[in-house]
Every structure is written in structure tokens, then in C-alpha cells.
Chain A
Amino acid sequence: GAGVSQTPSNKVTEKGKYVELRCDPISGHTALYWYRQSLGQGPEFLIYFQGTGAADDSGLPNDRFFAVRPEGSVSTLKIQRTERGDSAVYLCASSPSRGGGYTFGSGTRLTVV
């Protein structure tokens, strides 16, 4: 597609549930990033993929968070046993190469109640 697509745009889930957030990057972009923006803060790095592999997952807050990109295109961010503190906007970005200019998606607003 023309831009980075994220689905769903909004997700409300109950505490303790499992959620999956999807990112469809720009075709041909090998680098993919996930960021999280909490209320009143700027985006914070979660994980970086180069191709199919997670090259840097140092920003994932704990082992409840996991992300995959099995075919080097679409990525899914998975959150287990959600907590209210996980409520945030999850942003995905892609770039043609490592460190290249980012294009962000519109984000998924996750609300844990």
C-alpha cells in the first residue's frame, strides 16, 4: 500500500486478556519499528526488525510483550495478560533500510479496562 497500515485503529480489552496488533509496512521496506506513546509522552522505542528477524528488542518492557514478522513484511505485536498500564497508542513505522527515514502508521489506541 501507499502507507503504513495499522489495525485495529482502536482496541478495548479487559485486564488479563491477550491482544494482537497488526502492522502492514510500505511494500519493499525492510526495516520495521514498533513504538509506544503513553499519554502526555513522546513515542518510545519497543522493537526493531530487519527483514524477518528482531534485530533489537531492548525496548520491550517485559516478557508479556512479543512481536513477530515471519515473512519480512507484516508484523504483529502481541501482548499477554494485559494490564491497565499497557494502555497507550502503539505506533508502527517502516523505512527502506536500517536507519532510513521513517514512515509512521496512524497507530492502534489500546485501552485496557
Chain B
Amino acid sequence: DQQVKQNSPSLSVQEGRISILNCDYTNSMFDYFLWYKKYPAEGPTFLISISSIKDKNEDGRFTVFLNKSAKHLSLHIVPSQPGDSAVYFCAARAQHDYKLSFGAGTTVTVRA
């Protein structure tokens, strides 16, 4: 059973515009959420995270929003740049756990 779902396999956005990636989860024990970015032939790299005690975390062009009641989070990238073209994975874990549950990923393509 997939506990973390990314329902959009791909997203195409024009350079300079906003990219919005969505993620839903089913396990109410999850309280820490992460986004990873992956380029071809490389491992996932950590991008940004959010704890369940917050509803927003911002780091430069990247902002993650968490809606606990809806079990939904989103990643906003603004403005989108060509180097942002990659696969983005949403991941989650329960407090004090070490295992991450990942979504299937969303491939973002930023068009010039």
C-alpha cells in the first residue's frame, strides 16, 4: 500500500513562472515531510523539509506548505529556472523513525 502519493507524474512550466507540486499521504503517524530532487544518474538530494508543527517552510525559491487536516503538502518553486528540471520526490516519516516512505515522483520540465 502506497502511503505517499504524487498523482501528477509530470509537470511542464515556463521559465520564470511558478511550479506547484502536490503530495498526499494516508498515514496519520507521519509528522515529518521532505522533498528530494533527483537528476538522471544521480541519487536524490535533499531539498526542503517541514515538521508537522508548522504549516509553511520557506528556503529561497522553495516553499513547502502542509495541510495536516487534508493530509496534503505542496512544494512551490518560484521563479522556476531551467536547472530545476528534475524528478521531485515527496517523502514522509513518523516521529523518531528512520524509514522514509516516498511518492512515485513528479518530473518537472522548465521550458525556456
Using a CB–CB cutoff of 8 Å, the interface residues on chain A facing chain B are 4, 9, 31, 33, 35, 40-45, 48, 56, 59, 91, 93, 95, 98-99, 101-107
Which A residues touch B4, using CB under 8 A? Answer: 42
B104 at the interface (CB under 8 A from A): yes
Give chain B interface residues in 24-80, CB to chain A under 8 Å: 36, 41-46
Tell me the bound Cα distance from A45 to B99 in angstroms: 7
Tell me the bound Cα distance from A99 to B104 in angstroms: 22
Tell me how far the C-beta of A7 lies from the nearest C-beta in chain B, rounded to whole angstroms: 13
Give chain B interface residues in 88-104, CB to chain A under 8 Å: 89, 91, 93, 96-104
Closest 8 CB pairs of A and B: A42-B102, A104-B43, A99-B98, A45-B99, A106-B43, A43-B102, A104-B44, A42-B104
Tell me how far the C-beta of A45 lies from the nearest C-beta in chain B, rounded to whole angstroms: 5
Which A residues touch B93, using CB under 8 A? Answer: 99
Would you list 26 pairs from A and B whose C-beta atoms are within 8 A, ordered by A residue? A4-B43, A9-B41, A40-B104, A42-B91, A42-B105, A43-B44, A43-B102, A45-B100, A45-B101, A48-B98, A56-B98, A56-B99, A91-B44, A95-B98, A98-B98, A99-B96, A99-B97, A102-B46, A102-B100, A103-B46, A104-B43, A104-B44, A104-B45, A106-B41, A106-B42, A106-B43
